Chains A and B, each alone.
Chain A
């Protein structure tokens, strides 16, 4: 079983749509959780950290359910510029060491 699993997509949505991505992780001892965004053949860029209390950054909302080992990302009012691959990332210990990446979920936003 992969350490971090994501639906590969693609999710094809119109501008303005709300879209949700899910992710599960296998290591219950995982300490830190993140969503990264990666454009084709570019470096991943940190979108946001994910906390059990849930957190929001503009149109993006992330949630963590430790009991279910489940992480989600909600994007509201999708923009064309949101088209990218969204990577679910966990660390086996606290902090930013040794990131374990999911394979990513591809989002395509169309006019």
Chain B
């Protein structure tokens, strides 16, 4: 079964609203979680790396005030897309890792902003 649960799988929202995506590790403690974004026919691009209990490290070009990441526990990280706009429409996917072990991906969230 899935070891990383991501929710919701799909969300459609109006421009200007905020959307929260959850990523949970189900049977292990995820010391590190990664958030990726994928536009159609493009590669998965790393947005940020979050370690439990500390601030996320954002990749160059990713606005930290727009994409809020919280990793308050060892099993949960959230990504909030604030004031979403149509250009934020994308496939968002998380991955979780315990220490230096193999990492596991969530099933992804397709965000459509109208």
Residues of A within 8 A of B (CB): 4, 8, 41-46, 87, 95-104
Residues of B within 8 A of A (CB): 32, 34, 36, 41-46, 49, 91, 93, 95, 97, 100-103, 105-108, 110
* Candidates A42, A87, A95, A98; contact of B43 at CB < 8 Å: A87
Give the chain A neighbours of B102 by CB distance below 8 A.
46, 96
Give the chain B neighbours of A101 by CB distance below 8 A.
36, 43-45
Interface of B is mostly: strand
The total of interchain contacts (Cβ-Cβ below 8 angstroms) comes to 45
Some 22 contacts from A to B, beta carbons below 8 A apart, are A4-B43, A41-B108, A41-B110, A42-B107, A42-B108, A43-B93, A43-B105, A43-B106, A43-B107, A44-B44, A44-B105, A95-B100, A96-B97, A96-B101, A97-B32, A97-B100, A98-B34, A98-B46, A99-B95, A101-B36, A101-B45, A102-B43
Give the chain A neighbours of B36 by CB distance below 8 A.
101
Give the chain A neighbours of B91 by CB distance below 8 A.
41
Give the chain B neighbours of A87 by CB distance below 8 A.
43-44
- Nearest chain A residue, comparing its CB with the CB of B42: A103
Closest Cβ of chain A to B96, distance in Å, is 11
Closest Cβ of chain A to B48, distance in Å, is 11
- Nearest chain B residue, comparing its CB with the CB of A96: B103
